[in-house]
Amino acid sequence: MTGTVDLKPTLDRIRSKGSFPHKNDGSVFRNREGKLPSERPDYYREYVHPTPGVSGPGPQRIVVGDGGEIYYTPDHYGSFIRLD
């Protein structure tokens, strides 16, 4: 992906504990790839960020840690960008 991605709608949904359209929204992210700091197995939660032109969940996710840290992955866990 290239260009600017507006994560605000998904971040707002997470913060407000609003409706989650994807069945895995809020599920435990286990960090199997080891690309985030090592924490206990249930520390991170993942949420789908819609990808234009892709049906289904697509590759974009926001991962939130229990400590409030927020990460964005545009490529289904291939890389992460810390947002906070």
46 in active site: yes
Residues 6+ apart with CB under 8 A from 27: 45, 46
Q: How far apart are CA 49 and CA 72, in angstroms?
A: 9
> Given 22, 39, 69, 76, which residue is catalytic?
76
> Given 39, 46, 49, 69, which residue is catalytic?
46
Q: Which two tokens stand for residue 52?
A: 């234009």
Q: How far apart are CA 62 and CA 23, in angstroms?
A: 15
Q: What residues are annotated to the active site?
A: 46, 76
